[in-house]
Amino acid sequence: MSEIDQNVPPVGEEIHLPGPSLLPLTTAAGITLILIGTTVFWVYAAIGGIILIVSVVMWIRDTRREISELPEEHAHH
């Protein structure tokens, strides 16, 4: 069996893709506000920091939940 054949998943195996999410957009918005706040007004940076922290925490929580829902055989790859 060639190396390519060994890396191909079995026929019918489900491929996991994350669902649609606004969290990358809100994370980027938080970072943008932080950058704007460092030059314009510190309150923008504080608001951006809060948005960034909340977004990252929610993103990590959602990812951990999705990973825990994967079938057991995926944990060993």
pLDDT in tens, 18-59: 788 999 999 999 999 999 999 999 999 999 999 999 999 999
Instruction: Give the residue with greater pLDDT, 2 vs 43.
Output: 43
Q: What does the alpha-carbon distance between residue 62 and residue 23 come to, in Å, rounded to a whole number?
A: 10
Angstrom CA distances, 76 to 10, 38, 48, 70, stand at 15, 44, 38, 11
> What confidence score (pLDDT) does residue 3 get?
61
CB of 55 within 8 A of CB of 26?
yes
Q: Is the pLDDT at 61 greater than 90, yes or no?
A: yes
The pTM assigned to this predicted structure is: 0.71
> For residue 16, is pLDDT > 90?
no
- Over residues 4-14, the pLDDT tens digits come to 666 666 666 66
